[in-house]
Amino acid sequence: MRTLCAFLFASALSLAAADVAGFPSLNDARRIHGELVGLDFIHRSGEFRADDGKLMSFSMLPYAVMKYHGAEADLREVPLGTKMTFVMLPDAEGKMTRLTTTDDGQAADAAQLRKFREFTEKRGVAGWIDKTEGNTVTVTFFSGDPAAFQAAYGELLAVGKGGKLCVANDELRTWNPGVDGEGCSITEVNKVPTEYFGSSGVQVTVKVSNMLEGFRRGRVVRVFLTGWKVQDQFYGESLMGYGFGRMLNQELVENVAKEYPEQFPFRTEFSNAHLPWYQLKDDVKPPPFSEHVVFGELVQADAKTGSGKFMAELAGEQVNFTLLKHHTLKYLGADPQFAQLPTGQRYRFHLYQDATGAFSRVSFISDDFSHASANAITARVTAIHGKRIHVAWQLPLVKDYNGDMQRPQDIGSAILKVSDATRVWKGEQQVKLADLKEGDALLFNRTAELPGKASVCTDLWIGEETHKMVTEKMRKPAVAKK
């Protein structure tokens, strides 16, 4: 199993060449002040609203780290609504989407330093491989605060000390440390430059008994140092999830298009940018991961022609589209007719190119309610501040190693905006927004985020029984017609 898992990782998505070669200079970084409004803890991504009102999406490369109260912090540790400076670098297309770090202007807080250290010890300190030679692996560790890194781990990173070197991906997620890792001993410790962001200043060479396929230059690893308990990451965070029930959320399982791009002879949303997109073939179902996913607000749907229009989220560009002959529609967890899709709401569109190369052919449309329901997540209300609802994305109960039902850790968080026009439902009744309370489990639909027009919830549904009832009610007309 160890060899197989490590071999699979070896074909994982390569980091950009510039990132493999070294850490970035922040001389060209753009510093944007704003408010944190959404986080995906697992995929290390999120959103913030800049002071000018523009919603900015971001993702974090392996060496990136947020800072909160002047110290390094995992995304889970930074509250929604926090205002800070986001230090951004351009992606391959020149768009400012890569978050390297944040600055809240505060001095380092001892409690936050301790919290991040405890978080790291449960998962292993992260770094990337600079080189391999024989049965040795040279690793430079990541840190946004080299002095704090040295103070925390310096004594453990010494010649003769040991640990376990574990395969990880570029989101710092491990598969199964007990299997996808090797015991190691430190044979050399070197200081490396820290003027480029992300470098801890510490590089070690370790000796291992077996060279796993995942131990290759540029790949990411985590190291459990001497005295640390080697353990799987938490349910939903781990890429394998050994010891638990089947993962119902498909966005948390190992993404094969991202980790194993050579299996796909076309470009995907996650890899193979050098290849063309999949071209549709008559009466042939498109293969998995071949779609180009765009979020947008539906503005027109013509059931007779199977054509429509939507406004692409953030960009605000109008997209004209036609449905493929074999398409799937999802609304409120059911399979509606095209004419039943309400306009003025946000949907997920799976697009393919037409003969001119434009992404105008649609195979799949789904609203937010259906997407969350299909992935077994609900939004738990954590705070209510007027027309701003703070929620945490939660997974359903799952059996742990002992067969006991446990609630997994939250996988993300967001701020939902509501208005006087937002409808709130509980059971079969429409209730008041004031009836919403902390702890309520929500599903919702909303408008898309468009230039000059922030996303607002159109409907909120409270409680799992309500969610089931809504879907069953939506399905009844379709059943009656058969």
CA–CA separation, 298 and 359 (whole Å): 16
Confidence (pLDDT) at 400: 75
Token pair belonging to 98: 């890569």
Contacts made by residues 225-228, CB under 8 angstroms, sequence distance 24+: 225/121, 225/124, 225/125, 225/153, 225/156, 225/157, 225/161, 225/163, 226/156, 226/161, 226/162, 226/163, 227/156, 228/121, 228/124, 228/163
| Domain 30-106, CATH | 2.40.50.320
Residue 74's φ and ψ, nearest 5 degrees, are -75, 160
Averaged pLDDT, 268-281? 97
Residue pair 188/159 in contact by the 8 Å Cβ criterion = yes
pLDDT digits (tens, 9 = 90+) for 130-188: 999 999 999 999 999 999 999 999 999 999 999 999 999 999 999 989 888 999 999 99
Instruction: Check residues 243 and 212 and name the one with the higher pLDDT.
Output: 212
For position 282, what pLDDT does the model report?
Answer: 85
Give the architecture-level CATH label for domain 123-225.
Beta Barrel (2.40)
Instruction: Quote the pLDDT of residue 405.
Output: 86
Domain range summary for the chain, segments of one domain joined by +: 30-106, 123-225, 291-481
Q: Is the pLDDT of residue 17 over 70?
A: no
- In the predicted model, what is the mean pLDDT of residues 103-124? 96
- The percentage of residues in the chain with a pLDDT greater than 90, rounded to a whole number, is 86
Smallest CA-to-CA distance from 290 within 300, 280, 303 is with 280
With beta carbons less than 8 A apart as the criterion, state whether 220 and 192 touch.
Answer: no
User: Can you list the positions of beta strands (E) in 80-121?
Assistant: 83-90, 96-103
> What's the pTM value of the predicted model, to 2 decimals?
0.92
Q: How confident is the model at residue 5 (pLDDT cuts 50, 70, 90)?
A: very low
- Mean pLDDT, to the nearest integer, of 419-438? 97
Mean pLDDT, range 47-73, rounded to an integer: 97
Average confidence (pLDDT) over 233-250: 80
More confident position, 202 or 244: 202
291-481 topology per CATH = OB fold (Dihydrolipoamide Acetyltransferase, E2P) (2.40.50)
- Per-residue pLDDT, averaged over 313-340, amounts to 97
Q: What pLDDT does residue 243 have?
A: 58
- pLDDT score for 242: 63
Q: What percent of the chain has pLDDT over 70?
A: 93
Q: Across residues 418-441, what is the average pLDDT?
A: 97
Across 258-276, b (16+ Cβ under 10 Å) vs e yields: bbbbeebeebbeebbeeee
Judged against a pLDDT cut of 80, whether residue 1 lies above it is answered with no
